[in-house]
């Protein structure tokens, strides 16, 4: 990389644009080496998976036709007639799931290594919003093939939005483009999936990456406390980037294998007059919320159980996003330990509810 | 003979692997982008309606398979059927009653009623279809070459 900055092209660009910040980053960015270094790769993998989604999504757009009478048919056309259409569709479907998985792993690893703390509060907050957007991508994209499962999942999902106090009913109608899930909903979800969410994600991802580059790699407390002589680093360019690239390749191979050996079924075309099929459930990353709502009694005090549940998740989400700003006043509690236990409890709750969701 | 060092060997291997990987990614994408042919039955004949409902000095455009065909009944009671796409740049042509010609509005191409390109940019004539009237029903069919 350092050779590049001596080249004529680089000098030409440097005269006009001042490449010194990039040069500085390339030459001086370093990655601490310790027994939690592996977690530094998770964000990069999520970014890579996002790019895979962007490219495979653009390819799907070449043939996909939104609409009650064309969406399912165009998906059938893609998977059965277009060369490698089945592959592109399955990469997109598997990639989506794995991207959300890695986003979760990235978030929890940042949480447990306490990398969200000052000065990285904004990196954490933008990251959390990106995860919510990724879940929005998953939810809106799920409907697009217009099959039976997607149709009912969307009915349930948008119905849950309806229980939000005061604005719920309006929100539901805006989301559905009417009272019910119809072709109008499909148009809306398509617009959300290919225009609104990508626009928001581009801005937030830009900020998130900018913050990461400005601040450099976070060093965990135990590493910071080491004497300088015992701190080991590797250069970001090219050492870390090459390792990252290798991991990206491994992840790509995993997605390809899943796409080839475990293709997603298209299922039956959505029929608004058919009864919901057995075993209808949301995508796995919504399961913990879906399952928790099922456990709530119909009424809690003066509120409907579901309303309270939805409010709880909304408040919990906001709290989780703002967690870097939480200061514990009481000196008797070890702040670091408190966060660890809190994170473990959250993770246990989410995992427990997800497993229950698949068992019950 | 020059000896290939260990480092060179690994570099060749990496280069070969890298090129193969790129090919393995771009080949499916290239194939994917080329749309598969959609087979549609090519009709040989087409009924286009009753002659009583098709007055003199009028025209209409019908679909013959995937191609638009212009059907013209001139002032002299003859019925003409021609491909309706201009041979210049693919616009759909129209019948000009007062000129008794076929014109293309896009770039002022002009054809006569047999489809011959008479003025303007069209390089080739319009293809003619055979027209028959069977039991007052107009039937058009592809002319045998």
Task: Decide the pairing of beta strands B58-64 and B67-73.
Answer: antiparallel
pLDDT for res A235: 93
Average pLDDT, chain A: 92
Percent of chain A with pLDDT over 90: 72
Q: Residue B29: list chain A partners with CB under 8 A.
A: 59, 84
For residue A79, the distance in angstroms to the closest alpha carbon of chain B comes to 11
Q: What is the full DSSP assignment across A152-206?
A: HHHHHHHHHHTTSTTTHHHHHHHHHTSSS-SHHHHHHHHHIIIIIHHHHHHHHHH
A331 φ/ψ angles, rounded to the nearest 5 degrees:
-70, -15
The DSSP 8-state label assigned to residue B47 in this structure reads E
Band (pLDDT 50/70/90 cuts) for residue A280 is confident
Cβ-contact A306, A294 below 8 angstroms: no
Q: How far is A86 from chain B (nearest CA, A)?
A: 10
Q: In the structure, what pLDDT confidence band is assigned to residue A331 with cuts at 50, 70 and 90?
A: low
Q: What is the pLDDT of residue B39?
A: 75
What does the pLDDT read at residue A149? Answer: 87
List CB contacts (< 8 A) between B20 and chain A.
none
- Chain B residue with minimum CA distance to A63: B35
Q: What is the percentage of chain A residues whose pLDDT exceeds 70?
A: 99
Confidence tier at A330 by pLDDT (50, 70, 90): low
Phi-psi region of A29 (alpha: psi -120 to 50; beta: other; left: phi over 0): beta
Q: Is residue A322's pLDDT more than 60? A: yes
- SS3 at position B137: strand
A with B: how many residue pairs have Cβ under 8 Å apart? Answer: 25
Q: pLDDT tens across B2-59, in order? A: 788 999 999 999 999 999 989 999 999 999 999 998 777 778 899 999 988 899 999 9
Q: Quick check: A1 pLDDT over 60? A: no
Which of B28, B31, B33 is opposite residue A62, by nearest beta carbon?
B33
A63–B contact, CB cutoff 8 A: yes
Question: A147-192 pLDDT, tens per residue?
Answer: 998 899 899 889 888 888 888 889 999 999 999 999 999 999 999 9
Preceding peptide of B144 cis, ω within 30°:
no
| Class for the domain spanning A25-359 | mainly alpha
Domain boundaries defined on chain A: 25-359
Which residue's entry shows tokens 């290798």? A246
Instruction: State pLDDT tens for residues A70-122.
Output: 999 999 999 999 999 999 999 999 999 999 999 999 999 999 999 999 899 99
- For residue B35, list chain A residues with Cβ-Cβ distance below 8 A: 63, 82
């Amino acid at each position: 990389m350092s050779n590049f900055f001596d080249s004529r092209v680089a000098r030409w660009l440097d005269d006009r644009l001042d490449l010194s910040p990039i040069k500085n980053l390339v030459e001086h960015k370093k990655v601490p080496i310790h027994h939690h270094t592996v977690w530094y790769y998770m964000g990069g993998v999520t970014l890579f998976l996002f790019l895979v989604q962007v490219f495979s999504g653009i390819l799907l757009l070449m043939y996909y036709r939104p609409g009650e009478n064309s969406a399912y048919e165009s998906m059938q056309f893609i998977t059965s007639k277009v060369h490698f259409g089945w592959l592109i569709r399955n990469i997109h479907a598997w990639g989506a799931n794995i991207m959300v998985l890695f986003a979760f792993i990235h978030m929890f690893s940042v949480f447990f290594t306490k990398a969200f703390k000052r000065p990285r509060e904004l990196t954490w907050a933008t990251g959390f919003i990106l995860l919510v957007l990724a879940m929005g991508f998953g939810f809106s994209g799920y409907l697009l093939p217009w099959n039976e499962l997607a149709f009912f999942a969307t009915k349930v999902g948008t119905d849950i939005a309806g229980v939000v106090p005061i604005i719920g009913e309006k929100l539901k109608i805006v989301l559905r483009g009417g009272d019910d899930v119809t072709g109008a909903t499909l148009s809306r979800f398509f617009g959300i999936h290919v225009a609104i969410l990508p626009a928001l994600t581009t801005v937030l991802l830009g900020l998130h990456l900018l913050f990461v580059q400005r601040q450099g790699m976070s060093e965990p407390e135990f590493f910071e406390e080491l004497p300088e002589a015992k701190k080991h680093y590797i250069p970001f360019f090219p050492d870390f980037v090459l390792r990252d690239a290798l991991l990206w390749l491994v992840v790509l191979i995993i997605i390809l294998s899943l796409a080839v050996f475990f293709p997603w079924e298209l299922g039956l075309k959505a029929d608004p007059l058919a009864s919901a099929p057995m075993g209808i459930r949301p995508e796995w990353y919504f399961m913990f919320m879906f399952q928790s709502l099922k456990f709530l009694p119909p009424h809690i005090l003066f509120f409907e159980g579901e309303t309270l549940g939805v409010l709880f998740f909304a408040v919990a989400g906001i709290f989780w996003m703002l967690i870097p700003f939480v200061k514990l006043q009481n000196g008797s509690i070890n702040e670091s330990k408190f966060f660890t236990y809190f994170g473990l409890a959250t993770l246990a709750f989410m995992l427990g509810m997800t497993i229950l969701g698949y068992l019950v | 003979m020059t000896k290939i060092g260990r480092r060179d060997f690994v570099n060749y291997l990496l280069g070969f692997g890298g090129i193969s990987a790129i090919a393995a990614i771009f080949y499916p994408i290239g194939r994917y982008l080329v749309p598969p042919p959609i087979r549609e039955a090519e009709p040989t004949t087409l009924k286009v309606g009753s002659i009583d409902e098709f007055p003199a000095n009028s025209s209409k455009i019908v679909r013959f398979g995937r191609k638009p065909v212009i059907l013209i009944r001139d002032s002299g009671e003859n019925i003409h059927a021609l491909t309706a796409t201009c041979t210049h740049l693919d616009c759909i042509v129209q019948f000009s009653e007062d000129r008794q010609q076929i014109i293309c509005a896009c770039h002022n191409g002009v054809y006569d009623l047999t489809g011959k390109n008479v003025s303007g940019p069209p390089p080739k004539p319009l293809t003619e279809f055979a027209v028959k009237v069977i039991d007052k029903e107009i039937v058009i069919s592809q002319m045998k070459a």
